[in-house]
Amino acid sequence: MKQSLYRLIVLAVCCGVLDQLAPGGEGGAMSKYLRMLCSLCLLLALAEPVVMLLQTGAALPERIAAYAETLTLSPNASEEAQERWNREQQRLDGAIAARQLALALQSQFSISPDDITVTVRTDASSAQLSHVSVGLSNAAVWQNSHAIEAWIEEQLGCTASVYLE
């Protein structure tokens, strides 16, 4: 957001300087077209952050609503709001854990990033990993699936299964 604001300010200053340097003075024919071009550029610079927010996905309104409710969570906050926030946190924690595990498996077993899919399941009551599923495709199907399962169970202490995609 800071970067977009900085870009907008720099663009406005540059447009002002260009307008002053345009041939024909303040009322010249070139000045009119230059102002129109600068206005369009400023409009695009203003619209860019909004477009970036809209491209983040369909779940954005739900995330914003959950986050807004948690900002005001108090001891009197609704249990539903608390539960939604906890589910969102567990989902995000699971996604981070899956990504980190995928990176570790890629390094440990020399698997290409395109050839592995990792999903994790957490225990709702303790928020601990309960099961890891690893999908292998392309060249990774030749990996020893039992060795991968054993490595995950040893490292994380949870059950693991490997399947071929």
Question: Burial, 8: exposed, middle or buried (Cβ in 10 Å; 0-12, 13-18, 19+)?
Answer: middle
Do residues 158 and 77 both lie within one domain? yes
The boundaries of the domain holding residue 155 are 60-164
Q: Write down the pLDDT at residue 29.
A: 75
Quote the mean pLDDT of the chain: 77
Query: In this structure, are 83 and 152 located in the same domain?
Result: yes
The residue ranges of the chain whose pLDDT is under 50 are 58
CA torsion angle 108 118 163 146 (round to 10): 30
Q: In total, how many domains does the chain have?
A: 2
pLDDT of residue 61: 62
Report the pLDDT value the prediction gives residue 59, as an integer from 0 to 100: 59
